[in-house]
Structure 1
Amino acid sequence: MCAVGAAWRIHDRAILDALGWPPATRLGIRGVDDGVRLVAWAEHGIAEVNTNRYFRVPFRQRRRAELHIGDKVLLVAHLTPDHLAIYPPRALHAFFGNHRRLLEA
Structure 2
Amino acid sequence: MTPVRQELPARASGKARKSAKRSERGKGRDAKAGTKVAQVRLQPDEVANLEMVVRHLNLGSTSEALREGLRLLVREAAEEQAAEEIRAFYNGEPAPRPAGVIPATEAELKAADDAQW
Q: Which structure carries more relative contact order (alpha carbon 8 Å, separation 6+)?
A: 1
Structure ranking higher in strand proportion: 1
Structure showing greater Rg? 2
**Common topology (TM > 0.5):** no
The TM-score range, normalised by the shorter chain, is under 0.3
Structure ranking higher in helix proportion: 2
Normalised by the size of structure 2, how large is the TM-score? 0.24
